[in-house]
Structure 1
Amino acid sequence: MADLRFDDRVVVITGAGRGLGRAYALLLASRGAKVVVNDPGVTLQGEGVDIGPAQEVVNEIQAAGGIAVANTDTVATPEGGKAIIHAALDHYGRIDVLIHNAGNVRRGSLKEISYEDFDAVLDVHLRGAFNVVRPAFPLMCAAGYGRIVLTTSVSGLYGNQNVVNYATSKTGMIGLSNVAALEGAAEGVKCNLIAPGAVTRMAEGLDTSQYPPMGPELVAPLVAWLAHENCSVTGEIMSAMAGRLARIYLAETPGVFQPSWSVEQVDQQMAGIRDPGTPWVLSPVPTGQSDHIRRSFEMARKG
């Protein structure tokens, strides 16, 4: 089996100074990628600036014979997002792969979380994704090639307590990824999501003593595949946790059709409405939305 390499590919990785992002950067660089290691070196709460973490990763890559440059711009503003992408253009003349991994944590219950803490997390995770995808996407489309990997989480897909800001961001990422996948499909640009599970500093405060091995190196190979030209999927959600790799997807029950409904009939029919039966699994690309509409219309026509 031939190695899957990234020779001459230019990769931008946000939040690459530590944890998962560092593992992605080291792996892709070891396989020939030219890497922009973006990390402002902030605290877990998103405060301060320190070039140290990004530069340390660059030093590791260079010591191993790889090519990388450090960048400390923030994903949290449109200007920062543009600067991160332009770092790739300025140093290497192009961008082929974008991996948005940057994140911060500000915990709080839905009853008590402040608007400031809610926005601070959305600014890095969700708006941060848009802030780097927006300038990178047209460049990829113009080049006829691109790979985008965004980060979601089971804490968003299935919910978790005391992280409404994080969960909202990670679920919102699905919409961004689906649109990028749809609009990029005809232009050689693929976009997918990774839902990673790894013990990094974002697990600070959690009891991980009973966890199985969950290092970032167990997630990095799947992310590398999603970033590679061999990646054969787009608009999908992939999971990596404790050595288990899987696809996560949305599904619909076939549902129940009636030409009209009363509240009482909804109540009577709820078991059937919720019955999974043979579920509909509709992929965003190429025609998930239109398939949903078409199948619904077909049921209506059949009566």
Structure 2
Amino acid sequence: MALLDVRNLVTEFTTPAGPRRAVNDVSFAVQRGEILGLVGESGSGKSVTALSVMGLVDNQVGRVTGGNILFDNTDLTALPAAALRALRGKRLSMIFQEPLSALNPCYTIGDQISEAFVAHGDSDTRKNHQRVLELLRLVHIPDPEGVLRRYPHEISGGMRQRAMIAMALAYTPDLLIADEPTTALDVTIQAQVLNLIDRLRRELGLGVLLITHDIGIVAQYTDRVAVMYGGRIVETGPTAQVFATPKHPYTIGLLGSVPRLRHRKPGEKRTRLQEIPGSVPSIAQVTQGCRFAGRCSHSMPQCEQQMPPMRERGPGHDAACYWEGPA
């Protein structure tokens, strides 16, 4: 049984033209002790998917309107608000993409991390202080005593990001959703943080949903990958298999646009970096068929008329495309 099993998830937002789907019929699963990478361009619906799982979509502008989110066989979409709050921060945690927006500017770093303990009934101030120090050391923050007394604007972006990670790991959750967890970090700290997440999932059996734009991170740290475009999963499977034999034109385009360092032979001409023409369509654009059709070099008439179903292309490897793929 999967730790997280998302089935046919639909999340809609209110627009002047009526409700529009930012997440449309999305299904995936995260097993205990594995890292699933969710990858795609900005605007593909990755963060909205994560917020939907956590029950954090702002109900004034959007809501989950379809599907099921099964966490340890409990449907989160059917839970009362109080029961969901009891899970968040303890068994379900999320590292948010923008730490300066996610952290409260009026409270110190120490107070904000301690709040995770207080919210779940642990009100021993001295004990919580020690636990906060341990968490800050865990994410390699120098001078943790000094940092916990500072406000978010008094520390660097990288330090804020690590403070967010410490907060998410407060209770060693069963499921960790990491939304671009290393965006503000330099390369060496990126490696330390990702290695920490990787070690925790191996030692403690954490399930991790890792959202990122970095194909290199996906290749190195994830067991399986789900490629998202226009609010849908277009390809999914074991990371090594998907990267070795991608079946969806969008996945092929993403992999082809990654810069690669290699030695150029004398007299060899420079090659232009591949790119995917156009941009991700807005949720305001309603289409009947594949949302990638307008940017796809393999598009055919049926692509614009009907959404291609997800089909098996290999063991555990599925893609939603009418094109049969490279020979």
TM over 0.5: no
Larger helix share, 1 or 2:
1
TM-score when normalising by structure 2:
0.30
Higher relative contact order (CA closer than 8 Å, sequence separation 6+): 2
Larger strand share, 1 or 2:
2
TM-score when normalising by structure 1:
0.32
